[in-house]
Amino acid sequence: MRCGDLKESYLEDEKIFQSLFVKICLATLLVVLVIIPFVAGPYTLYIMNLIGFAIIGAVGLNLLTGFTGQISLGHAAFIGVGGYTTAILVTKLGVPFWFAMPVAGLVSAGMGLIIGIPSLRVKGLYLCIATLAAQFILEFVFVHWESMTRGIRGINVPPPRIGDFVFDTEKSYYFITLFLVIVAVGFARNLVRTKWGRAFVAIRDRDLAAEIIGINLFRYKLAAFALSSFFAGIAGSLWVGFIKVVTPEHFPFSLSIQYLAMVIVGGLGSVLGSIFGAIFMILTPELLNILVSSAKQLFPGLDQFFIPLKDIIFGGLIVSFLVFEPHGLAEIWHRIKNFFLLWPFSY
Amino acid sequence: MRMRHFRISAMILAILVLSSCLVYAQNEIKIGAVQPITGRFAFAGVNINAGLEDALMIANEEGGINGKKIKYIMEDGQYQLDVAVAAFKRIMSRDNPLIMYGESTGLGKAMSPEIKDRFKILYSSTSFSSELADPKENPYIFVPGPTYADMFGILLKYIAKEKPGAKVAFFYSDTEFGKDPIQAARDMCKTLGLDLVAEEVAQVGSVDVTSQVLDLKRKNPDFVIFQGFVVDPVQTVIKQCRDFGMKTQFMGTFWGASQMVVNNLGPAAEGYMAVNPYMYWWNDDVPMIKKIKAYTAKTYPKVTSRDNSYMQGFMTGLIFVECLKRADKAGELNGPGLAKALQSIKDFDSGGLSAPFIIKNNKFPVARVWKANVEKKILEPVSDWMTVE
């Protein structure tokens, strides 16, 4: 068991794979993630896919909110833009899904650029409201631009395919999701240790100071919005390919809040935190559901009591996490790791 | 202290998880349901769930499906698509039921490719959307009554008979639910020779409907049909129109035929009409209503009344049971067998709960028009059972 590692430069501090042990752990995790679809049932894989989409979306939002300090309440709308772009490209123009997905990301990014413009003038709560407007404007567009979005009826989308192989089951789709999650997380993790990532953090910590030391606020704030929306667009595109239908009701304001909650519960300014947050926000309600359905069998006839109870428990869990660990799940993970680093000789 | 708490909660958890893994008896027929028990459709979801469950449990008491008992498995879908799809898949992979019931139009649409090609199960839902009644696209999905378009058809036929060439207006919400029947209804107006003078659109639950009401006043229709609302803004529209002294007759489709609406409208409900394919709780002379009342008195002594959404769930349960019986008799107790049984339903006797049901394009296009009785706060039939072609 290793007991701490010595670093001699800042460069080493920023390494992603800090030691051989970490490499082994991550390799094992990857192997497990690849094996899972061959042993798990469709329900588990459905949830794993949802977690995957949430991770991509949450990492994107964390780049904007956690690293750059710009709160966005319109994340769900950007996911929707990605979803609709994919659906329209695939059904109206017959573009293959694989090409539609990056285009959807770019369209979302473009939308993010436009919505991000107010961030140059307004901050904090004011920016919150500006992005909130984006949520409602885009939702309105989804409903009323009927020639493109088919309005409230939505668009049915064929599943992605390569040649004759169709990705229409949870299992096959899981591999697309897994691949993109790895790419997205890898990209974000690397980005935050480059010049760009440092600029984001500088803006978050004090934008005035950042500007004085030569960071172009215009460029980096908009870049953060565009990047975050690009991630959202990819997440939306994946969701549409998976669920095979898109309607405006898929991207409500509450989804934006849910993404914000993922980032906050997971840990602001931490890529790992976004992953934990996404897993927590998707998995906990499902676990509570399973718990409730078992409780129903023990106490039949009390459905009306148990089913609303799970929302209360879920809310309580989020609040208690924030009270007991304001830095989020990432910090809890960090503490557990540190405990075992020295275990059993914690002198 | 902490450790003990931890142990106790761990034990409770373990018991709960284990109990969910119990092995059930094999000679059971499983029917799964994703119901909107919480969320914005909960007011109806709770009723629908009770109706469906009661119909299945009554069938069990009467001997089940040729001796086999039905097991009803319900989970909450919260009227959110991702939650509902998760619940659907959870039930499918854990219990593998023969029949599923869904909570929304959206869930049906999202699952329809998989219901057809993968699960092959009989499916019905809370929705009367016309998109879910398409035997070619999906032979396994049916609507337990007329679609919204059929309901409009029945109302318009009634209007055409009462007042040929009448001026009609539609007042619908800006949702899928609101817009679903409108195109079909426009065409129907043309064929029936009715004059469609206005179409007003409002948001669900909106309070300010002044501009729409003023437009109605200008065009002065004889009949206004609401679609896609549950309570608001129906009440406001009717009251404001009455304040202007308009004599317009107001009408609603299934969700507007609930007793709740009549109660909320109060005196403004005078003359209000709605279309409903099922009989009501107060129609005591109907044998099936008697049966429902007796079962309710025995099982839920506190319940004194059930709304029309309960009857919708109950009727769906009756159709499920009938399909199961027919499929079992034919020795094909599986999805394709059930779909075949569904197509064979003709003159199905629901104990008077509805007209003798005849399936047509995976729906049952029959209903009657009801009129509010303000004093008794109930709805009374003003037409016989009507069908649309």
- Calpha distance A306→B39 (Å, rounded): 14
Query: B170 and B245 in one domain?
Result: yes
Looking up tokens 């609930």, which residue turns up?
Answer: B258
* CA B63 and chain centroid, separation: 27
- Calpha distance B380→A112 (Å, rounded): 56
Helix or strand run (H / E) with residue B273:
strand B273-276
The pLDDT tens digits for A48-77 are: 999 999 999 999 999 999 999 898 899 999
Per-residue pLDDT, B24: 42
Using an 8 Å CB-CB cutoff, list residues of chain A that contact chain B: 41-44, 46-47, 50, 143, 151-154, 156, 168-170, 243-245, 247, 249-250, 285-286, 289-295, 297-298, 303-304, 307-308, 311
Residues of chain B with Cβ-Cβ distance to A301 below 8 Å are none
- Report which of B72, B188, B85 is spatially closest to residue B130, judged by C-alpha positions: B188
Greatest CA separation found in chain A?
69
**DSSP letter for each residue of B50-96:** HHHHHHHHHHHHTTTBTTBEEEEEEEE-TT-HHHHHHHHHHHHHHH-
- Calpha distance A263→A269 (Å, rounded): 8
Specify the amino acid at residue B330. Answer: A
Query: B168 and B50 in one domain?
Result: no
List the pLDDT tens digit at each of the 389 positions of chain B.
Answer: 455 565 655 555 555 444 444 444 457 899 999 999 888 788 889 899 999 999 999 999 998 898 889 999 888 888 888 888 888 988 888 888 999 999 988 888 888 888 988 889 999 999 898 888 888 888 999 999 999 999 999 999 999 999 999 999 999 988 778 888 999 999 999 999 999 999 999 888 788 889 999 999 999 999 999 998 877 788 889 989 989 989 999 999 998 898 888 888 888 888 899 999 999 999 989 999 999 999 999 988 888 889 999 999 999 999 999 999 999 998 888 889 999 999 988 888 888 898 888 888 899 999 999 999 988 889 999 999 998 87
Average of per-residue pLDDT across A190-215:
91
Instruction: Give chain A's end-to-end CA distance (angstroms, integer).
Output: 15
Q: Which domain holds residue B205?
A: 148-276+368-387
Q: Report the SS3 class of residue A44.
A: helix
Classify residue B4: in a domain, yes or no: no
What is the dihedral angle through the alpha carbons of A16, A22, A24, A26, rounded to the nearest 10 degrees?
A: -60
The pLDDT tens digits for B27-37 are: 789 999 999 98
Helix or strand run (H / E) with residue B187:
helix B182-192
Backbone angles phi, psi at B25, to 5 degrees: -65, 145
- Calpha distance A324→A335 (Å, rounded): 13
Do the Cβ atoms of B74 and A297 come within 8 Å?
A: no
Task: Say whether the peptide bond before residue B139 is cis (omega within 30 degrees of 0).
Answer: no
Q: In this structure, are residues B251 and B166 in contact, taking their beta carbons and an 8 Å threshold?
A: no
- Report which of A21, A55, A63, A79 is spatially closest to residue A254, judged by C-alpha positions: A79
Classify residue B9: in a domain, yes or no: no
The pLDDT tens digits for A245-290 are: 888 888 888 889 889 988 988 988 889 999 999 999 888 888 888 8
Task: For residue B113, give the nearest of A244, A247, A307 by CB distance.
Answer: A244
Query: B268 and B180 in one domain?
Result: yes
Using an 8 Å CB-CB cutoff, list residues of chain B that contact chain A: 13, 15-17, 19-20, 22, 37-38, 46, 49, 74-76, 81-83, 85-87, 89-90, 92-94, 106, 109-110, 113, 118, 131, 174-176, 179
- Calpha distance B228→B251 (Å, rounded): 12
Domain count for chain B: 2
- Calpha distance B299→A117 (Å, rounded): 62
Give the HSE-up count for residue A273: Cα atoms under 13 Å, Cβ half-sphere: 28
Residues of chain B with Cβ-Cβ distance to A293 below 8 Å are 20, 75
Query: B181 and B69 in one domain?
Result: no
Looking up tokens 């960071």, which residue turns up?
Answer: A215
Backbone dihedral region for residue A15 (phi beyond 0: left; psi -120 to 50: alpha; all else: beta):
beta
- Angle at Cα A339 formed by Cα A337 and Cα A340, nearest 5°? 70
Query: B223 and B329 in one domain?
Result: no
Residue A142 has pLDDT above 70, yes or no: yes
Helix or strand run (H / E) with residue B101:
strand B99-102
**Domains identified in chain A and CATH numbers:** 16-342 (1.10.3470)
Classify residue B20: in a domain, yes or no: no
Backbone angles phi, psi at B199, to 5 degrees: -130, 115
Classify residue B13: in a domain, yes or no: no
Cβ burial, residue B297 (10 Å; 0-12/13-18/19+): exposed
Query: B376 and B251 in one domain?
Result: yes
The pLDDT tens digits for B163-183 are: 999 999 999 988 778 888 999
Classify residue B16: in a domain, yes or no: no
Query: B206 and B223 in one domain?
Result: yes
Do the Cβ atoms of A294 and B131 come within 8 Å?
A: no
Distances from the Cα of B324 to the Cαs of A301, B250, B316, B333, B334, in angstroms?
25, 40, 12, 7, 9
Q: In this structure, are residues A48 and A169 in contact, taking their beta carbons and an 8 Å threshold?
A: no
Do the Cβ atoms of A43 and B81 come within 8 Å?
A: no
The predicted complex's ipTM stands at 0.72
Do the Cβ atoms of B81 and A250 come within 8 Å?
A: yes
Per-residue pLDDT, A78: 95
Backbone angles phi, psi at B365, to 5 degrees: -80, 65
Query: B268 and B303 in one domain?
Result: no
Residues of chain A with Cβ-Cβ distance to B81 below 8 Å are 243, 249-250
User: Which residues, other chains included, contact B294 with Cβ-Cβ below 8 Å and sequence gap of 6+?
Assistant: none
Per-residue pLDDT, A302: 67
Query: B140 and B158 in one domain?
Result: no
Cβ burial, residue B1 (10 Å; 0-12/13-18/19+): exposed
- What's the CATH code of the domain at B134? 3.40.50.2300
Query: B259 and B172 in one domain?
Result: yes
Q: In this structure, are residues B138 and B108 in contact, taking their beta carbons and an 8 Å threshold?
A: no
Instruction: Give chain B's end-to-end CA distance (angstroms, integer).
Output: 72
Residues of chain B with Cβ-Cβ distance to A150 below 8 Å are none
Query: B302 and B223 in one domain?
Result: no
Please name every residue paired with B195 in a beta bridge, in sequence order, or none if there are none. B167
Query: B266 and B169 in one domain?
Result: yes
Q: Which of B24, B49, B176 to mutate to test the interface with A (most CBs of A within 10 A)?
A: B176
Q: In this structure, are residues A237 and A85 in contact, taking their beta carbons and an 8 Å threshold?
A: yes
Helix or strand run (H / E) with residue B287:
helix B287-299
Distance from CA of A244 to the nearest CA of B (A): 7
The pLDDT tens digits for A105-120 are: 999 999 999 988 888 8
Distances from the Cα of A277 to the Cαs of A37, A199, A256, A273, A281, in angstroms?
22, 24, 14, 6, 6
Strands B273-276, B122-125: pairing kind: unpaired
Classify residue B8: in a domain, yes or no: no
Per-residue pLDDT, B21: 43
